[in-house]
Amino acid sequence: MSRIQLADGEEIEIDDLADYDQARRLLDQLDREIITIEAQICDGPRPGQAADWLARAKSALRHRKVLRPKLQERIADLKKEKAKAAHAVAEVASQSRRSDKRHAFMKAAVDVLPRGEFNAIMRRAKEMFPAAFSDEAQG
């Protein structure tokens, strides 16, 4: 069972975590719980505690220690996804900037070059790089 309890009491499957920051907070919470349980076990029973408290504490500790590597693995996966998404956004932005530069260059060439020279350059570009102009034939 790879379920973890959220701060609001709701339980969620570790593999269903979709937010990197939430997963990191849950790992921090899990670490605090492990430390707290270990401290309670070291301190021994308190007056009035149930006789089976040690067994329950050890069981809770074991359960949390089993969850920890699974949660760490999920965090690593979410970090990779986050980095991949950031890279994709950066790539789109980079392509957009390149496209804007090309568009600006074309506008400047139209303004600066005589019409015949511009058309000759465009014909030559289409001959040299037909794939770059393939969408014109379709449109």
Which residues in the chain land under pLDDT 70? Answer: 1, 136-139
Give the model confidence (pLDDT) of 7-28 as tens digits: 788 888 999 999 999 999 999 9
Give me the pLDDT at residue 64, please. 93
pTM of the model: 0.61
Residue closest to 37 by CA, chosen among 1, 70, 64: 64
CA-to-CA dists, residue 40 to 29, 81, 120, angstroms = 17, 38, 84
Residue closest to 14 by CA, chosen among 78, 58, 57, 60: 78
C-alpha Rg value of the chain to the nearest Å: 30
Query: Count H helices, E strands: the chain?
Result: 4, 2
| Residue 5: its H or E element | strand 3-5
